[in-house]
Structures are given as structure tokens and as C-alpha cells.
Structure 1
Amino acid sequence: MSTSLFDLTGRRALITGSSQGIGFSLAQGLQAAGADIVLSGRDPEKLSIAAEKLGGVKTLLFDVTDHAGVKAAIDRFEAETGPIDILVNNAGMQHRAPLEDFPPEMFQKVLQTNLTSIFNVGQAVAKHMLGRKSGKIINIASVQTVLARPNISPYTATKGAVGNLTKGMATEWARHGLQCNAIAPGYFDTPLNAALVKDADFSQWLEKRTPAGRWGQLDELTGACIFLASQASSFVNGHVLYVDGGITVSL
């Protein structure tokens, strides 16, 4: 019985930004737990390659920053294919620059991609979930939800907001049968962190700063995602689950 709590057979999961990195890895993990997967992105070629790797999955092409486009795509999918039971809001981006020199157009882009996207997709999917009185929304936050580092202040601002938007979703939608939570990854070896991974000084600093003493591996996020997507978390709402090797609890 304990294992069945984590079984996602018969559930459909949409993962945004799932052509690569964390999104693709989470899609793999949810698929292994039995979920039917819908990969989403805005690059049709990358999406096609990712879908081929997983096999037996559906794809949904849209730009997460386009509110009208997201709503149209989600409504069409629900009408033609069926319900989305699990949403993983993973799409995100990074841009590094000193705050005093940070280009305003890039600030807007980071804001739209990391935060507005969660409102756009979350709202579109939740409107269908609310009618069914069930659904799982998992937003991808970050250790930057509670920490800051130089040169990424706008990113930090968006991830702090993701944590609070998750709480807001739970506050409004839990009474209607939805569970809305977030996963906050620490430092993982992903395309988004490629520049940091290549930086020997940063990697050395990170290994000393993190109690676990290393970078995270992508498959180490899978268990947290399956938990929050499954019946095992039926009374967990508004929670930000840090998967970070202990970096947020250690000085």
C-alpha cells in the first residue's frame, strides 16, 4: 500500500521547459512512476528530439510568456486529448550581470520567463483542475528563493516571488482539491548552470559551501517531484521543498 501512494499510473503530467535539463529529467522520472507525459517548449526541433528520447509521450508547443497563446493551447489540449492532472512549471532562464548594469530589457525577460510564465500556465491549467476538484501544481523555485548571490539579483527576485505565488495558489485553490507546492533545487549540473560548472573556482567554493560537498545530480530531484505529484502528498499544500544538499541551512 505504501508504494501505491506514489503510483502515477493513469495520470497525465505537463512539464514546461522540458526539452532539456531539469524539465526533461523530471519528465523521465514521472514517466517511470507511471504518468503519461506531455513535454512542452517553444522550440519545435528541441521538443521533437526530447520526445523521441522518451518515447510514447505527447508534446505541446507554446511560449509560456504569451498568456493568450498558453490559454488557447491548454484549452485545446484539454478538449481534444483529455485532462492535465499534474502541472510542473519548470520553464526558466538566467542572465548574469551586475545589478547596476543589468539591462532593463533583460530584467523584463527574466521576469516574464521565470514568474509570469507560472501565472500564465498555472491559471490556464488550474481553471480545468478546479472544475474537476483535483490537481497537482508543482512550481520550480530555487535556493535563490531565500538566498542571494551577486550578479543574479533579478533571478533571485523572480524565484522569491515563485515561492510566494506558490503559497498564494495553495491559499486560494486548496479548498477546491488542488495541491500547489514548489521544489527548490540547489546547484545542479544543468545547461542553465553550464558557465558555473566550468568555473573551477566556483565549483570549489560550492563544494565547500554545501554540506553534501558536491553539485546535485538531476535524478536526485525525481523523488521530490513524484512525491508532490502523487497521492502521498494529498495534505501538503503551499510547501517549498528544498533539494539542495543542505546549502540553505548552513552558514
Structure 2
Amino acid sequence: MTEGEELRGGMNVVRRYGDTVRRPASAASPVIHRLLRHVRAQGFDGAPEPLGLDADGDEVLTFLHGQVHQALPSELRTPELLDSAATLLRRFHDASATFETGPGDRWWLPARSPAEVICHGDAAPYNCVVREGTVVGLIDFDAAHPGPRVWDVAYAVYRFAPLHAPDNPDSYGSPAEQGRRAARFCHTYGVPADAALLDIVADRLRALIDFMRAQAKRGDKAFQSHIDGGHADLYEADIRYLAANRDLLLRAFDEE
């Protein structure tokens, strides 16, 4: 096979070949492929279609056409994009609610209670496909796992509002602006924007830090590289930022 175009793949090397992408398979690939087939059968068209494995054992999925951004550029920090991201996540959750899990399913991240839906696990700009200023697709379902809706919403809000400290390179906006954007995302999705949400954002970041450190301790070089690059430090700083600006954020929630 000819060399494909390398795409941004997060923890993996992902290559595009025409209208398909190939990426390393994992122990979670079978259940994730079942999940993707299920949500597509429910009418959710914002996810790749799994096409099986190639001769090298890599996953083959359809390519979703559009742009993917590590963080939102200024021209995409619009209410319309925020609404489309929240709406797409809600549609995915609704489609996943009837997915039947089994005892042999090997999720990368542990299931969380209550298992209302299948969480994407990493719903962020870098895993969203954008066309004409609208989020139209979700990619990279490696971190998918059963859990409560708000667990997934909290992380998406953290990334899209964004609820980042000023020193985070992906941060923008004042606490008030961030709070209003967070509230808009929640209201569009259909969950409350309140103190409990901020607590879940912080809990979600702590869980991420713990997971990164546990994987690095087991010898995972990619996670060790992220820790060495300061990712865990950024998350810890953002947790402190949420605590320091809690009142400002809560007041902004009430304004939206």
C-alpha cells in the first residue's frame, strides 16, 4: 500500500488513504466498532463508519471531511459553533443510550456510574470535525466508556468554553466570558450550568491526571511524554483556576 497522508492522531499515528483512515487497533477496538455501528444505525451520522481491519491489523474507518483544530481559532469562537458542538454531543449520547455492553468489552477508560450513555471521553475541538463554522462530526473514540452524560459534558465544556487559566496556551476570554460560554453549551445540550458542573469539571481533570500518571508508571511512553511536556501541570493549574474564580463563573452562569 502506498504511503498515506499523516493526520493529527493524538496518541496514535493516523493516516488517510482517500476516503478512509487507518489507525492502530487496540483491545478496545471491537467494542468501539460495535458502538460506532450502533449509533450510526440509530441515525447518528457524525461518526466514522468502521470498515474492519487491514492486512496489517490496523483499523480502517471512513474519513470525515472537514477541518480539525487543536484549539478553536478566533473566527470559530462563535455561538453557532458552540451550539453545534453541544447539539452533536447530545445526539451522540442519545444514540448511544440503547447500546448494549457485555462482560467481555474492554474499554480503555473504566466505566462510571450511573452508566446513562456511552461517553466519548475526549470531546474537544481536536476531536471535532468542522465544516462552514459548524461541528459536524466526532472522531477518535479511543476513550469512549459507559458513564453519566454530565461526565462527558463537563470535559467538553472545559475544552470549548474554555475553562482554562490564562497561562494555558489554549485559553481565551475572561472568567465571565468563559462562564457564559459554558452555560450556553450546557443549556443547548440540556443540563444545568451550576456549581455541581464546576465540581465535575475539576473531578474530571483529576481523574485525567491520575490516569496519565498511572499509564506512565506502567511504561507508556506517550503519556510520559505528555507529563514531561507539562500537560498534567496545566490541568492542575486549571483546577486551581476554577476554584479561584468559582464565584465569577457562577455569576456568569446566571447571566446566560
| TM-score, length-scaled by structure 2 | 0.28
More helix, by proportion: 1
Q: Which has the higher contact order (CA 8 A, sep 6+)?
A: 1
| TM-score, length-scaled by structure 1 | 0.29
